[in-house]
Structure 1
Amino acid sequence: MKTLVAYFSWSGNTEKIAKQIVAKTGADMFRIERKVPYNEDYNTCAYREAKEEIEKKIRPEIKTPLPDVEKYDSLILAFPIWWYTSPLPVWRFLESYPDWKGKKIYLFANSYTDDHNYMTTSLKDAKASARNADVVAGLFNKEIEGLDEWLTQNNFR
């Protein structure tokens, strides 16, 4: 099984998780980046830029080139929770491909809370953004402590 780990990280926390997954699986890695970077100030980023995107459903442009997803069987998609779901560049990434048929996408979400409703919302949004993909919940927040076991159970190791 050929796997891509795609991740979005503003502060570096999610990047650490993505690198752990790649180190343990040998998967390829792709960083989802907004073409115009978010402000480095947390309050400006969170309460102005990200909030406006979620309120207006703005899909910001992301850097290219995008990876060729045709060569992958599965995608592990890691991201922080922003405004109760995944950041909008993640939606844009998923919507950039016309068809995910035959691909399985596992979500890895981290948040400052342990409210599983955020994973539920992220799952719903990912399913709406990734046409024809089989999108499933991976690990949420502190469940990352069970990463090794999860990777083994899902045949990534």
Structure 2
Amino acid sequence: MKTLVVYYSYEGNCEQIAKHIQSKLNCDVLRIVPEKENIKKSMMRFVWGAKEVFMIKKPKLQPYQINLDEYDQIIFGTPVWFGTYAPAINTFLCDNKIENKRIGIFICDGNNKQNTFQDFEKALSNNEIISTLELVYPIKNGIKQAYQKVDEWLTTL
């Protein structure tokens, strides 16, 4: 079974997890990056992020080369922005026809997942969501413990 990890990382949490998954599964990884991104240090990032989510923005992504037909399983990783996946993930899901895949989802959040998994289920309705994982502040709360949770979770895929 060929696996692809597709992730967006704003503060580095999802990137750390995606790289760990790649090392465990020896799979392909696609980091999606918006062409324009907000300054990360400013408190205004929360206002910007809220606007992006509530206005259902689809930021233009930097070009990427991937043929999703080559993969049986896709693992998505995203930070949680105001109760759902990041707008960059929204763009990817809207730009790509994803059907008949096994899906795994990991999120990195501040214990505010709200509708994130349900929103993925709606967007990926023509797929089989195998397993989900929530990691609360994985870097801040201990990346080694997060890696252990990921290792356990990977056995469900």
Q: Which TM class, normalised by the smaller chain length?
A: 0.7 to 0.9
Q: Does 1:25 align with 2:25?
A: yes
Structure 2's unaligned 5+ residue stretches are 137-144
Change (3 A) 1:121 1:66: farther
Equivalent residue, structure 1, for 2:88: 89
User: Higher strand fraction: Structure 1 or Structure 2?
Assistant: 2
Equivalent residue, structure 2, for 1:109: 107
Q: How is 1:5-24 mapped onto 2 (pairs within 5 angstroms)?
A: 5-24=5-24
Superposed displacement of residue 147, structure 1: 1.7
Give deviations 1:3-48, integer Å, cap 9, x for gaps: 0011110111110011000001001011011111222324222222
Structure 1's unaligned 5+ residue stretches are none
Structure 2 contact 39–45 (Cα < 8 Å) conserved? yes
* TM-score, structure 2 as length reference: 0.84
Change (3 A) 1:137 1:84: farther
Superposed displacement of residue 88, structure 1: 1.1
Q: Does 1:57 align with 2:56?
A: yes
Q: Does 1:74 align with 2:70?
A: no
Give deviations 1:61-108, integer Å, cap 9, x for gaps: 11112421110011111111111111111111111113x221122110
3-state DSSP class of the match of 1:138? strand
Distance 2:156 2:119 in 1: 25
Once superposed, which parts of structure 1, at least 4 consecutive aligned residues long, lie more than 4 Å away? none
* TM-score, structure 1 as length reference: 0.84
Distance 2:116 2:21 in 1: 20
Percent identity of equivalent pairs: 26
Structure 1 contact 4–74 (Cα < 8 Å) conserved? yes
Paired residues in the alignment total 148
User: Higher helix fraction: Structure 1 or Structure 2?
Assistant: 1
Distance 2:42 2:125 in 1: 32
Equivalent residue, structure 2, for 1:44: 44
3-state DSSP class of the match of 2:43? helix
Aligned-residue RMSD, C-alpha: 1.9
